[in-house]
Amino acid sequence: MKSVIDEKNSVPVVSESDVLVIGGGLAGVAAAVSAARQGKKATLIEKSIVLGGLATLGHVCIYLPICDGLGRKIYGGMAEEFLHLSIKYSYNNLPDERWTMGVKRIDNPKGRYRTTFNIPAYILALDELTQKEGVHVVFDTVFSKPIMDGDLCRGAIVENKSGRTAYLAKMVIDATGDADVFYRAGAPCEEQKSIVSSWAYEIDLESAKEGIESGDILKTMNLRWFGLRPDADNSKSTIPTFLGTDAEEVNSYIKLSRSLMLDFLKKNQRPGYAMFSLPFMPQYRMTRRILGKKELQLNVGHIEDSVGCICHSLETPAAVHEFPYDAIIDSKLKNILAAGRMVSAGGYAWELMRLIPACVFTGQVAGTAAAVAIDSGCSVQEVELGKLREKLASTGVMIHMDEDMLGGRSEKKFNEKPMEVGIGGTKVDSLSYH
């Protein structure tokens, strides 16, 4: 490829923090807030103008279950807090369930402990939370490259309306969803192509009437799915798959998904119908992840370095697994941690770790671990797990699974039954070029 030499200008330093988080999706917010709650000065860089990432900009308005489908809470801590935050200022369709037996079980006769949230209300609640916790959020700012000093990351060069500036920090958390920081710092990563899918909101007079008659505001809005479904056999589809880490491919993804929507509008435009919101972030599921110090292994029972329990929110019942701290760090890089859908988990484990409760969980682990490392004056590889676990457990994170969760549980993969999508009264339309 033809190349030019980038100019070697000095770059002004605008801020020095304890913890610098790149990416303001739910994982990044959890990371920044948990670091701030440990008394650390936390800065969060976000390229868009809202927090939430795929959950808000990408229209993924379903906070999947924090329970295992057998009546037990698996995700406590911030994953549970963020579920309640998602419905703090809007409709609440959490099942009417009572948590019983302390924090670990729920009386769960009707369904899974999950909810659908209103995107604008969640955006505003995330703003309020970060402000209250003293996180310095920097919107409209794109991470450009890490400032490396051997295996140490001194901060990041960013681009925004002020030009090219530097944000320095003791610890850096990569919550970009695409492992941009790790990749540009030279860490080994794995990439994967994604199917095209795009969710748009629509409203029509018929569903509005249904909403009024039933008194259920959720019924007035429909979510429409364009593109391919991950649970379907897409082998005969002529819709290509795309990399989320190549600018041209990202552009092709965006243009194709919007052309599917336009095709639909051309055929379905009518009085009393309106499409009212399109996704403002390409809906890539898995793009690039780190090949960390340790890969997450499923179904291996208790692990010594567990920092919390996880389960696939779409399995019913869901097998429970323990998550190793080393899956959010690299073997060499001394002060960079991963949070969200880019942690070290391959195959089906990647499918599990990209779901919202898991992303918030790893965000909390990363933010807390960064604070522990600063307090101990050590690298991320040297974090004392006892201290980290103590802090996580004090917020409700279940570090190890109970003995009766260990064996004899069928692991139903989510693609054995149709994936649940949408909101109450949803019209899900799987358009494709089959």
Task: List residues binding ligand FAD (CB under 6 A).
Answer: 22-28, 45-48, 53-55, 58, 60, 62, 64, 142-143, 175-177, 180, 197, 283-285, 340-341, 354-356, 359
The residue (of 143 and 167) whose beta carbon lies closer to ligand FAD is 143
Nearest residue to 428 via CA among 230, 237, 211, 217: 230
CB of 357 to ligand FAD, least distance (A): 6
The residue (of 352 and 400) whose beta carbon lies closer to ligand FAD is 352
CA-to-CA distance for 130 and 420, rounded, in angstroms? 31
The residue (of 143 and 182) whose beta carbon lies closer to ligand FAD is 143
Nearest residue to 78 via CA among 422, 301, 427, 368: 368
Which tokens in the block code for residue 128? 């309020």
Which tokens in the block code for residue 311? 């389960």
The residue (of 56 and 306) whose beta carbon lies closer to ligand FAD is 56
CA-to-CA distance for 278 and 304, rounded, in angstroms? 45
Nearest residue to 17 via CA among 172, 179, 182, 180: 172
CA-to-CA distance for 181 and 147, rounded, in angstroms? 10
The residue (of 104 and 354) whose beta carbon lies closer to ligand FAD is 354
Nearest residue to 194 via CA among 131, 130, 239, 162: 239
User: 97: number of CA atoms within 13 Å, CB side?
Assistant: 25
The residue (of 117 and 325) whose beta carbon lies closer to ligand FAD is 117
Which tokens in the block code for residue 75? 């995700």
Share in percent of the chain as helix, strand, coil (round to 5): 30, 25, 45
CB of 236 to ligand FAD, least distance (A): 21
